[in-house]
Amino acid sequence: MMLISITDLLHDIRTVEQRYHRLPHAVTLIAASKQQSAAAIRAAATAGIRDIGENYVQEALAKQQQLADVPLVWHFIGAIQSNKTKAIATHFDWVHTIDRIAIARRLNEQRSPSCGKLNVLLQINSSGEVSKSGVSWQALFELAQQVSELPQLVLRGLMVIPTPVSDFAQQRAHFAHVRQALLALHERFPTMDQLSMGMSADWQVAIAEGATFIRLGTAIFGSRDHR
């Protein structure tokens, strides 16, 4: 069941882009479709969504088979286990969650040249909580340097899942910090031009601070809780 019409949501995104002086279509909506059926994704595609984000490899592959006739761009947005890198390298167009070089190297080796290069983002652990995935601020530059040397990957930018805060200004400052990091990295690594930040609760603020990908689940498909 779609919570709101995707047409309305896409329209809202264009409005927010305009409000914060972003270029039209600067922001790509990714439907975060964990726990959603292939049929729900098909309906979203019919309504104008082209980019799909999945967290779990097995679940994603099953849906990809059922949706082979639909032209979609697949983003891997979940935590990466090293025994899943082959499937990720083979079946996805983008990977948002690189946080260590060992994983990047495996993806590089396992990406078939016939698939073209794999677009990757580095996930930042912006709060520094040890329980969270993502590279620390201190290790970010070195990881970018190492990933930029891998020939089958293209280092495209940064991804963050911030700790939610209710205060708009605080949330905005948080996203601004990530945007500034991207700007600094872009000087050295010109292919880094994407910011994957913003979920259902905070996507407007993320757009204000330069998001180029927003990843929405609940706002598109409704709550995952009572399924």
Note the residues at the interface with ligand PLP (CB under 6 A): 32, 34, 55, 77, 161, 199-201, 215-219
Q: Residue 107 Cβ, how far from ligand PLP at the closest point, in Å?
A: 18
Note every long-range contact of 194-201, with CB atoms under 8 Å and residues 24 or more positions apart, other chains counting: 194/121, 194/156, 194/157, 194/158, 195/157, 195/158, 195/159, 196/30, 196/77, 196/96, 196/121, 196/157, 196/158, 196/159, 196/160, 197/158, 197/159, 197/160, 197/162, 199/32, 199/161, 201/164
Q: How far apart are CA 141 and CA 195, in angstroms?
A: 16
Q: Residue 96 Cβ, how far from ligand PLP at the closest point, in Å?
A: 7
Q: 135-172 in b/e burial notation, b at 16+ Cβ within 10 A?
A: beeebbeebbeebbebebbbbbbbbbbbeeeeeeeebb
Q: Collapsing DSSP states into helix, strand and coil, what is residue 76?
A: strand
Q: How far apart are CA 31 and CA 81, in angstroms?
A: 22
Q: Residue 106 Cβ, how far from ligand PLP at the closest point, in Å?
A: 20
Kindly state the tokens that stand for 208: 């204000």
Which C-beta is closer to ligand PLP: that of 34 or that of 177?
Answer: 34
- Assess contact for 212 and 194: CB atoms under 8 A: yes
Q: Residue 21 Cβ, how far from ligand PLP at the closest point, in Å?
A: 24
Q: Collapsing DSSP states into helix, strand and coil, what is residue 83?
A: helix
The residue sitting closest to ligand PLP, measured at its beta carbon, is: 217
Q: Residue 190 Cβ, how far from ligand PLP at the closest point, in Å?
A: 26
Q: Residue 198 Cβ, how far from ligand PLP at the closest point, in Å?
A: 9
Which C-beta is closer to ligand PLP: that of 155 or that of 219?
Answer: 219
Which C-beta is closer to ligand PLP: that of 39 or that of 201?
Answer: 201
